[in-house]
Amino acid sequence: MARTLIGNIKGPKGDTGDTGATGATGAAGASASVSVGTVTALEYGNDPTVTNSGSAQNAVFNFGIPKGKPADNITELDNLPVNSSVTPSADFPVPAVGDTSKTILGKIIKWFGDMSALVADMSALVATKFNAANVVNNLTTTASGYALDARQGKALHDENYYSSGDTIVLNDATYAGMSNASGNSISLFIPVPKQVNSRLNVSVNSVTINWVRADGQTYQGMLAVTQGVAGNINTPGTLGISVDGTFPTVKMMGVNLRATFTVM
């Protein structure tokens, strides 16, 4: 009868046996050490690295640290965005050393704004001024829109006022109120065709009189001035002078006078 061997057959597990006695303490192991080896800068974008160039018991760690992201190379203001500005209160502000970019931008914007306002004011002012071509140096222009040259002020003054040294010439002026002249004196009251700047003395240079006597006869002659005759001109007013001369003692009905006066 043949036999069949059945190997690797396990029977039911038995109970755990009792714990054995503690073994003897082993020998003390060698001391371990850790130190830093090299620190190497890596290019931006690399991962940091740590390697052990020592042993498991005496480790020497070498570190590789990546560089930070390089700053942007700004060569133009186009590449430097500014989100806001600081507006100063002063007129025509000027950027100064130490100002921030926002302050500088605010000053530039304010300066150009002030300049624009100034140009507008100047344009409005220029619009109110006369063109030099519309300033005339005469007293004859009648067109509108023209201004009188300042030199015409003197012309107007001379036209209406006597000044010291001016000569007054009266030709054939009739003064019917001159009568009852006697002796060697006569009073003349002569309206002056211009005003004077102030109360001025007047000297009589020469007088020619054509008068009518009471009997109806006429007489003509040069009045001989024997003294320095002087009178006064009021502004405005009448020239009143007394003349000492040689002429007949007659009642004059009317006088036709030609005289030359000088304002002193």
Candidates 246, 172, 150, 239; CA nearest to 201 is 239
> pTM for the whole thing?
0.35
- pLDDT score, position 179: 42
Mention every residue, 6+ apart, whose C-beta is less than 8 A from residue 243. Answer: 185, 186, 187, 188, 204, 207, 223, 225, 229
Domain boundaries, the chain: 33-66, 77-128, 130-162, 163-263
Contact 240, 188 (CB under 8 A): yes
Average pLDDT over residues 13-28: 80
Distance of CA 197 to the CA centre of its chain: 40
pLDDT tens-digit series, residues 103-157: 988 999 999 999 999 888 888 887 777 678 888 898 889 988 888 888 988 888 7
- pLDDT score, position 6: 54
What letter would DSSP give residue 198?
A: S
Average pLDDT over residues 13-23: 80
pLDDT tens-digit series, residues 193-251: 677 666 566 666 666 767 666 677 776 666 655 544 555 665 555 666 666 555 555 55
Q: Is the model more confident about 9 or about 70?
A: 70
Cα–Cα distances in angstroms (integers) from residue 2 to residues 5, 6, 8, in the given order? 10, 13, 20
Give the span between the Cα atoms of 152 and 150, in whole angstroms: 5
CA-based R_g, the chain, Å: 63
Residue listed under structure tokens 């019917």: 176
- The two beta strands, 200-213 and 230-233, are antiparallel
Is 11 buried (19+), middle (13-18) or exposed (0-12) by CB count in 10 A? exposed
- pLDDT score, position 107: 92
Q: Residue 57: pLDDT above 70? A: yes
- pLDDT score, position 178: 47
Q: What are the strands, taking DSSP E only, across the chain? A: 33-42, 49-52, 58-66, 135-136, 147-148, 161-162, 167-174, 185-191, 195-196, 200-213, 218-223, 230-233, 238-244, 252-263
- pLDDT score, position 109: 92
Length of the chain counted residue by residue: 264
What letter would DSSP give residue 79?
A: G
Residue listed under structure tokens 């220029």: 126
pLDDT tens-digit series, residues 64-92: 898 888 776 666 666 667 788 888 989 99
Would you state the structure tokens that stand for residue 93, as one six-digit string? 């502000």
Average pLDDT over residues 2-21: 69
Q: Is the model more confident about 41 or about 172?
A: 41
pLDDT tens-digit series, residues 150-204: 898 888 877 777 777 777 776 665 554 444 444 455 666 666 667 766 656 666 6
